[in-house]
Amino acid sequence: MEYLATVTILIAIYVILAASYNLVIGYGGLATVAHPIFFAIGAYVTGLLAIHAGLPPIVCVALGAVAAMVASVLLAASSLRVSGDYLLIASLGFQLGLLQLIRNLEITGGPGGLSNIPSTIVGAARTPTFLAITIGLAVVSVLGIRAIVRGPYGRAITAMRDEELAFTALGRNAMSMKIVIFAVGCGVAGMAGGVYAFYFQYVSPEQFEVLQSAQILTMVVLGGMATAYGPVVGAVLLLAIPQAITFLDLPQNVMAPLQGIIFTVLVLLFLFLRPTGIMGDSDNKPRARASEAA
Amino acid sequence: MYEPVILAQIFWTGVATSAPHVLMTLGFALTLKVTGLWNFAQAGFMAIAFYTMFFALNGLDLPIFVAVLLAIGTTIAASLATEVYGLQVLRERQSGNLMFFIFTLILSQFIMYVITLIFGTEPQTLFKSILSPVQIVGGVAVSDWDLLGVGLMIGGMAALWLFMAFTKEGQFLTAVSDNAKLAELYGISARRSYRVTAVIASLFIVASMYLVGSHGGVVPNSPLELILGAVLGTLLGGIGRVFAAAAASIFLALIQSFSILVLASRWQNLLLYGFLFIAIVVFPRGVRLPKFRFALAGR
Amino acid sequence: MTQVLRTEDLNKRFGGIVVSDNVNITIDRGEILGLIGPNGAGKTSLFNLISGVLRPDSGSIYLNGQAVNASPLYKRARMGIARTWQNMLLFRTMTVIENLLIAPREYAGESILRVTFGLGSVRSAERQARERALGILDRMGLADTADSMVTDLPFGQQKLIGLARTLMNDGPLLLLDEPMAGVEGAAYETMQAVVRQEAASGRAVCVVEHNVSFIRDLCSRAVFMANGRILQDGTVEELIASKALTELYFGV
């Protein structure tokens, strides 16, 4: 039961991550890959504040989200100046560089990670409370993002993706819109990081590597880019299926790469046969074509 | 501490250890220049190259020469297949950068997972021993591996330069990299140039992985780290400037080498990323040193 | 002030090619200025310079007396420079009405803060914009295409939609880049009528066109460009009468 609850909490957190990543790459059309680092910034800032500053948990998480947002604005502002494509490489470099820094600083616990993040709730109520919080946040994130992209704002984002030059010539500041979308997406990821830090009470650099980038990417692509519920489907699949496979009772050194193979093959198949993902329209209806415009 | 002999040793070792990175960077930067793509699939090809050689040498007991040829074969096959059945399809669909990135990254991951399944995660080396005979030249220790590396590096750069400057195919590559559509109007096939580039990159990859694999342990995930070095060199050299990227790689290796004198070794890697930050924020178009511009058939 | 647009010694070159050579033009309120000349004369480049897609190497641009040189593309649109594109650049995955709703100069729904905290103002702004958009479509006889995907419409209608979208910007200056290219029949008549209406309501209009009868019917004044330079500036009749220009244009 406890195990199931933990898996669900993890799924909920990844739903938040996938949904916010989808906002950035699916709706915003911004090619980036560094989402896990903003997750990490949120987690580490929250953890450090909890350990050293003794602030109330909600404040720690909020500050973690703000830290992630500020970092994302700096990254976007400097790399979008060059070109939209540059953000991809810049974000990769940012992620790896920051991870390297984290690995070498003592205050972050180095490669061993940051442990002993204080408990917020103790006793039997802990897991159910966290379950409620994470699921609640996941619902809010998904519906919130959906609300944003349905209205005029979503229309503006789509237009920007379709024809950025015409969009700009109609008086829209595309650059600031991209930065805002990026900041919101990364801020939400930071918030997820804060909650993650409090539940698991341990964060370490290898939880935020390129592997995780690929995982979140897989969730969004499989689920369907630029769809409201695609990220949910993607997160559930990517986290639940491996759990199911464990019942096959294969040795660990076969299981891990096997899971990897299954998912990479799925992504590749979807990429070529059904780029709109599971939740996208299969006949490539215009709304779903957002994934190609990306 | 700063005796000339020690400095010379640090210099030589730095240059020698940069060799595999330079070779990789040449392939990566050339691909970026001609196809406009940051081809992360090359990480997967690196894994294929190494493990083919590894299997040929240790599983099939084939001589080195044959092992290398086999690796060249499998790497070129993988590279061309990716180009023809993957990248070209995405191009025809007019997919955006993100799609290309997803494809190349996930493809690399797929390859690395398959290799993990077959070979496991233990570090492997091509040969039983990673030590190679050393001679002392003027007080500096020079190993056979060093010589091979530097030789391949210089030979590779020279060959590439000659190819780009003096052969028709090479000039086509330059034309396509400048303006693919215009080149098509003149009857140059961009697709063919992409394939030629894939083959050239494969050769550099095999050479690079031979050096890496004979000098230290390799795990299936090693290529991802190695390719980041190539990304860094390419960024610092400037997109489209292949030889500048190679020079940047050597420069970075030397910086890392010499930084031993002042920094603890655990900060070495961080130095690299520090450079990356600076490169991205201050020199997004690459570092331009007017004197050091290597001519690449006009660019 | 009746002079809406004034350019002063605009210069721009790309490597060896001069696209703008000391270009000086003025356009007044209610005037329709024709910009004609052979291909590659620098007409679209001039539009790009005025609207802010390109930065001039030297020279100034004044909109209603205010220098706009320092303003980027999106700011100039907000100041009231509206333009169409040779390739239309319609938003392909959206419907006609959606294309138009992107276009008014100020729009509440596009600030994420307003959307989160000012839902009421967003709703009323949306309503106003929608009314305006339908009004424009009505003027063009295209009101029933409002919910069609732009990519489903025939070419001539798409061009009209491009113009309609530009008209959502109610600013003082309207730049039309070859609006007639590929357009015939009813769409042609509609476009002429609409452009006349815009000028009559006080906008300054500049039209780049190869269709000489369009220019003759609509424009009071015209400017002939070749090789980035303005060769002659006068009434359409004068330009057409000039043998030198005809040779340049038609190569005869």
Q: How confident is the model at residue A60 (pLDDT cuts 50, 70, 90)?
A: very high
Residue A292: pLDDT over 70: no
Helix (H) or strand (E) holding A227: none
Q: For residue B222, which of B50, B14, B22, B70 has the smallest C-alpha distance?
A: B50
Q: Which residue of B has its CA nearest to A293?
A: B96
Residue B299: pLDDT over 50: no
A157 by DSSP, 3-state: which?
A: helix
Interface-testing mutation among B98, B118, B285, with chain A (most A C-beta atoms within 10 A): B98
Residue C145: pLDDT over 70: yes
Q: How confident is the model at residue B119 (pLDDT cuts 50, 70, 90)?
A: very high
Which residues from chain A sit within 8 angstroms of residue C92, using beta carbons? 162-163, 286
Residue A288: pLDDT over 60: no
CB contact under 8 A, C73 and A180: no
Instruction: Give me the pLDDT at residue B93, please.
Output: 86
Per residue in C84-114, pLDDT (tens digit) is 998 889 998 899 999 998 877 766 556 666 6
Instruction: Give me the pLDDT at residue B293, please.
Output: 34
* Listed range (A1-10, A69-78, C47-56) with the worst mean pLDDT: A1-10
Residue A285: pLDDT over 80: no
Which residues from chain B sit within 8 angstroms of residue A25, using beta carbons? 98
Is the reported ipTM for this assembly greater than 0.90? no
Longest dimension (CA), chain C: 65
Distance CA(B206)–CA(B195), nearest Å, equals: 17
Joined tokens for residue B225: 């780290």
SS (H, E, C) chain C: CCEEEEEEEEEEEECCEEEEEEECCEEECCCEEEEECCCCCCHHHHHHHHHCCCCCCEEEEEECCEECCCCCHHHHHHHCEEECCCCCCCCCCCEHHHHHHCCCCCCHHHCHHHHHHCHHHHHHHHHHHHHHHHHHHHHCCCHHHCCCEHHHCCHHHHHHHHHHHHHCCCCCEEEEECCCCCCCHHHHHHHHHHHHHHHHCCCEEEEECCCHHHHHHHCCEEEEEECCEEEEEEEHHHHHHCHHHHHHHHCC
Q: Is A177 an interface residue toward C (CB < 8 Å)?
A: yes
Which residues from chain A sit within 8 angstroms of residue C100, using beta carbons? none
B142 by DSSP, 3-state: which?
A: strand
| A189 in Cβ contact with A17 (< 8 Å) | yes
Q: For residue C11, which of C43, C71, C55 has the smallest C-alpha distance?
A: C55
- B4-7 long-range contacts, CB within 8 A, separation 24+: B5/B138, B5/B139, B5/B140
Which residues from chain A sit within 8 angstroms of residue C78, using beta carbons? 171
Q: What is the mean pLDDT of residues B2-26?
A: 90
Q: Rounded to the nearest 5°, which phi and psi values hold at C58?
A: -160, 160
* Listed range (A92-101, B19-28, B77-86) with the worst mean pLDDT: A92-101
**Which residue type sits at A180?**
V
Q: For residue C104, which of C127, C132, C70 has the smallest C-alpha distance?
A: C132
Joined tokens for residue B40: 């992360």
Interface-testing mutation among C47, C75, C90, C102, with chain A (most A C-beta atoms within 10 A): C102
Distance CA(C196)–CA(C179), nearest Å, equals: 13
Per residue in A198-221, pLDDT (tens digit) is 999 999 998 998 888 888 998 998
Distance CA(C209)–CA(C187), nearest Å, equals: 16
Burial status of residue C106 (CB atoms within 10 A of its CB: 0-12, 13-18, 19 or more):
exposed
Instruction: Give me the pLDDT at residue C113, please.
Output: 63
Which residues from chain C sit within 8 angstroms of residue A171, using beta carbons? 74-75, 77-78, 103, 105-106, 169
* Listed range (B260-274, B280-294, C164-178) with the worst mean pLDDT: B280-294
| C31 in Cβ contact with C202 (< 8 Å) | no
> Does residue A228 sit within a domain?
no
Q: What is the mean pLDDT of residues B104-131?
A: 90
Locus of tokens 């990304």: B231
Per residue in B165-175, pLDDT (tens digit) is 999 888 888 88
A195 by DSSP, 3-state: which?
A: helix
Pairing mode of beta strands C229-235, C221-226: antiparallel
Instruction: Give me the pLDDT at residue A123, please.
Output: 78
Residue A287: pLDDT over 70: no
Joined tokens for residue A3: 């195990």
Which residues from chain C sit within 8 angstroms of residue A170, using beta carbons? 77, 102-103, 165, 168-169
Q: Is A52 an interface residue toward B (CB < 8 Å)?
A: no
Cα of first residue to Cα of last residue in chain B, in angstroms, is 42
Burial status of residue B289 (CB atoms within 10 A of its CB: 0-12, 13-18, 19 or more):
exposed
Q: What is the CA radius of gyration of chain B?
A: 19
Per residue in A87-112, pLDDT (tens digit) is 888 888 888 888 888 888 888 888 88
Pairing mode of beta strands C17-23, C229-235: unpaired
> Does residue A280 sit within a domain?
no
Q: Which residue of A has its CA nearest to B113?
A: A257
Which residues from chain B sit within 8 angstroms of residue A100, using beta carbons? 269-270, 273
CB contact under 8 A, A172 and C110: yes
* Listed range (A235-244, B138-147, B157-166, C5-14) with the worst mean pLDDT: A235-244
Cα of first residue to Cα of last residue in chain A, in angstroms, is 41
Distance CA(B88)–CA(B94), nearest Å, equals: 10
Instruction: Give me the pLDDT at residue A23, please.
Output: 94
Q: Which of A151, A170, A293 sits opposite C103 (nearest CB)?
A: A170
Q: Please, what's the b/e burial string for A96-130 (b: 16 or more CB within 10 A of its CB; e: otherwise)?
A: bbbbbbbbbeeebbeeebbeebeebeeeeeebeeb
Structure pTM?
Answer: 0.84
CB contact under 8 A, B98 and A25: yes
Instruction: Give me the pLDDT at residue B202, please.
Output: 96
Distance CA(C52)–CA(C76), nearest Å, equals: 7
| B107 in Cβ contact with B223 (< 8 Å) | no
Joined tokens for residue B57: 């040498």
Which partners does chain C have (≥3 C-beta pairs < 8 Å)? A
Distance CA(A119)–CA(A140), nearest Å, equals: 24
Strands (E), chain B: 134-137, 140-143
Q: How confident is the model at residue C180 (pLDDT cuts 50, 70, 90)?
A: confident
Instruction: Give me the pLDDT at residue B1, please.
Output: 58
Classify domain C1-80+171-252 by CATH number.
3.40.50.300
Instruction: Give me the pLDDT at residue A282, please.
Output: 62
> Does residue A282 sit within a domain?
no
Which residues from chain A sit within 8 angstroms of residue C120, using beta carbons? none
Per residue in C113-129, pLDDT (tens digit) is 666 666 677 778 888 88
CB contact under 8 A, A168 and C74: yes
Which partners does chain A have (≥3 C-beta pairs < 8 Å)? B, C
% pLDDT > 90, chain C: 33
Which residues from chain A sit within 8 angstroms of residue B228, using beta carbons? 92, 96
Residue B265: pLDDT over 80: no
Helix (H) or strand (E) holding A91: helix A86-104
Instruction: Give me the pLDDT at residue A286, please.
Output: 41
| B71 in Cβ contact with B52 (< 8 Å) | yes
B143 by DSSP, 3-state: which?
A: strand
Least Cα separation, residue A214 to chain B (angstroms): 7
Q: Is B181 an interface residue toward A (CB < 8 Å)?
A: no
Instruction: Give me the pLDDT at residue C137, please.
Output: 92
Q: For residue C204, which of C225, C190, C188, C221 has the smallest C-alpha distance?
A: C221
Least Cα separation, residue A26 to chain B (angstroms): 10
**Which residue type sits at A225?**
M
CB contact under 8 A, C115 and A169: no
* Listed range (A36-45, A245-254, B143-152, C69-78) with the worst mean pLDDT: A245-254
CB contact under 8 A, B96 and A31: yes
Instruction: Give me the pLDDT at residue C41, please.
Output: 84
Per residue in C207-248, pLDDT (tens digit) is 998 887 888 888 889 998 888 888 888 888 888 788 777 777
* Listed range (A244-253, B8-17, C172-181) with the worst mean pLDDT: A244-253
Joined tokens for residue A281: 């329209």
Q: What is the mean pLDDT of residues A105-122?
A: 82
> Does residue A278 sit within a domain?
no
The total number of structural domains that make up chain A? 1
Distance CA(A122)–CA(A107), nearest Å, equals: 26
Strands (E), A11-160: 114-115
CB contact under 8 A, A31 and B231: no
Instruction: Give me the pLDDT at residue B286, please.
Output: 61
Instruction: Give me the pLDDT at residue A294, please.
Output: 35
CB contact under 8 A, A104 and B270: yes
The structural domains of chain B, ordered by start, are 4-292 (1.10.3470)
> Does residue A56 sit within a domain?
yes
Q: Is A152 an interface residue toward C (CB < 8 Å)?
A: yes
Q: Which of B200-204, C70-74, C158-162 has the highest mean pLDDT?
A: B200-204
Question: When comparing pLDDT for B268 and A265, which is higher?
Answer: A265
Joined tokens for residue A70: 């500020």
| A152 in Cβ contact with C101 (< 8 Å) | yes
Instruction: Give me the pLDDT at residue C117, please.
Output: 63
Residue B249: pLDDT over 80: yes
Instruction: Give me the pLDDT at residue B295, please.
Output: 34
Least Cα separation, residue C200 to chain A (angstroms): 23
Instruction: Classify residue A204 by its DSSP letter.
Output: -
Distance CA(C205)–CA(C189), nearest Å, equals: 17
CA distances from A240 to A92, A147, A159, B266 (A): 27, 27, 36, 38
Q: Which of A159, A169, A180 sits opposite C112 (nearest CB)?
A: A180
Alpha helices by DSSP H, A115-251:
126-150, 152-162, 164-169, 174-200, 210-223, 230-245
Instruction: Classify residue A250 by its DSSP letter.
Output: -
Q: What is the mean pLDDT of residues C24-38?
A: 90
Pairing mode of beta strands C26-28, C17-23: unpaired
CB contact under 8 A, B101 and A218: no
Q: What is the mean pLDDT of residues B181-201?
A: 88
CA quadruple B4, B7, B13, B17: dihedral, nearest 10: -150
Q: Please, what's the b/e burial string for B230-250 (b: 16 or more CB within 10 A of its CB; e: otherwise)?
A: bbbbbbbbbbbbbbbbbbbbb
CB contact under 8 A, A81 and B95: no
Intervals of CATH 3.40.50.300 along chain C: 1-80+171-252
Q: Which of A82, A217, A292 sits opposite B102 (nearest CB)?
A: A217
Q: Which residue of A has its CA nearest to C77?
A: A171
Domain hosting residue A124, numbered range: 2-207
Helices and strands in chain B: count of H runs, count of E runs: 12, 2
Q: Which residue of A has its CA nearest to C150?
A: A286
